[in-house]
Amino acid sequence: MAILSFEELKNRCGSKSVYEVAQEEESSLSEIEVDVVRLKVLEDLTAMKAAIKNGLKSTEKGISGWCGDDCAKLRKRYRDTETLFGKVFEKITAYALATAEENLRMGRIVACPTAGSCGIVPSVIIAVAEERKIPESKQIDALLTAGMIGLIVSNKVQLAGAVAGCQAECGVASAMAAGALVEMLGGNTEEILQAAALAMKNILGLTCDPVCGLVEVPCIKRNAFLGVHAVTAAELALCGVESKIPIDEVTDVLKRTGELMSPVLKETSTGGLAKTKTALELEKVLFNKN
């Protein structure tokens, strides 16, 4: 039977970890062995690492001419200047941009949960794993944990900017990354769900207003911001800070917020940043509009 709520997930976990329940659930639904499930997740993890590697090498611009070299600029700063937050911060922000820019170039990425939010989960898992020397098996556990969080949220609301704004894309990705990070750092089920709740409730109402209808502005840089957002949520949860609103209720609010949100702020590019003076000028250049 499918797990439809986080309360059900907690009950199913008992003495098991979230990732164990996730892989058992996938094994049952897909009628394959757990080992095969983990191999499939490893394929995703490998693809995420390849997207980061490719994104770090390229500076090819996208259709707008605005985006495609921000990761290179950031990496140059990190080479030249000691940053405030250290190596993990450097890698998360750079890897998130690299992945989102690889998506811009129509490269191979893993939508987690969507293409527009593809840099958040990989940047957090892979950057922290590299810096903390966390083995591949634990990275797979983290990705399974992230997938279970995204799956449960998606049972209530479609994870698409056109349905509920970017809170349902980058916002949910940040919650997934927060839970995954807690798993990777040895947290328990309660801490995983607290991290996801903290990340998600503090991004409620995030609009989806892509300039010129392209997954470029503000989408790409949003990945870097929300990767760091996920780490903040994980750190808070691991020291015992709780979301006073349970995660199932936060998910309900995300759904209701999406329903209340104006259509002009849900991926239609008819409002918000997409209708600023500068955005309209670019639109004229790109589409020969009068």
Average pLDDT over the chain reads: 97
The mean pLDDT value for 170-192 works out to: 98
Alpha carbons 117 and 159: distance in angstroms, whole number: 10
Q: What integer pLDDT is reported at residue 263 of this predicted model? A: 98
Q: Diameter of the chain by CA atoms?
A: 63
**Cα torsion 234, 235, 239, 241: sign:** negative
pLDDT-derived band at 290, boundaries 50, 70, 90? low
Q: What integer pLDDT is reported at residue 85 of this predicted model? A: 93
What is the secondary structure of 176-229 as a DSSP string?
HHHHHHHHHTT--HHHHHHHHHHHHHTTTT--B--GGG-S-TTHHHHHHHHHHH
Q: Which residue has the higher pLDDT, 290 or 19?
A: 19
Tell me the pLDDT tens digit for each residue of 209-245.
999 999 999 999 999 999 999 999 999 999 999 999 9
HEC-encoded secondary structure of 122-148? HHHHHHHHHHHCCCHHHHHHHHHHHHH
Alpha carbons 74 and 82: distance in angstroms, whole number: 12
Which element (helix H / strand E) includes 35?
A: helix 34-57
Domains of the chain, earliest start first: 17-287 (1.10.4100)
Alpha carbons 257 and 178: distance in angstroms, whole number: 21
The mean pLDDT value for 113-142 works out to: 98
Length, in residues, of the chain: 290
pLDDT-derived band at 289, boundaries 50, 70, 90? low
Residue 135 has pLDDT above 60, yes or no: yes
Q: What Cα–Cα distance (Å) separates residue 154 from each residue in 33, 184, 191, 289?
A: 24, 23, 21, 37
Tell me the pLDDT tens digit for each residue of 34-71.
999 999 999 999 999 999 999 999 999 999 999 999 99
Residue 165 has pLDDT above 90, yes or no: yes
Q: What integer pLDDT is reported at residue 2 of this predicted model? A: 85
Cα 289–Cα 221–Cα 140 angle in degrees, nearest 5: 130
Tell me the pLDDT tens digit for each residue of 250-279.
999 999 999 999 999 999 999 999 999 999
Q: What Cα–Cα distance (Å) separates residue 252 from each residue in 77, 90, 114, 160, 249?
A: 41, 34, 20, 16, 5
pLDDT-derived band at 288, boundaries 50, 70, 90? confident
Q: Which residues contact 123 (CB under 8 A, 6 or more apart)?
A: 52, 91, 92, 93, 94, 95, 96, 99, 177, 223, 224, 227
Residues linked to residue 208 through DSSP beta bridges, in sequence order: 266
Radius of gyration of the chain (CA): 19
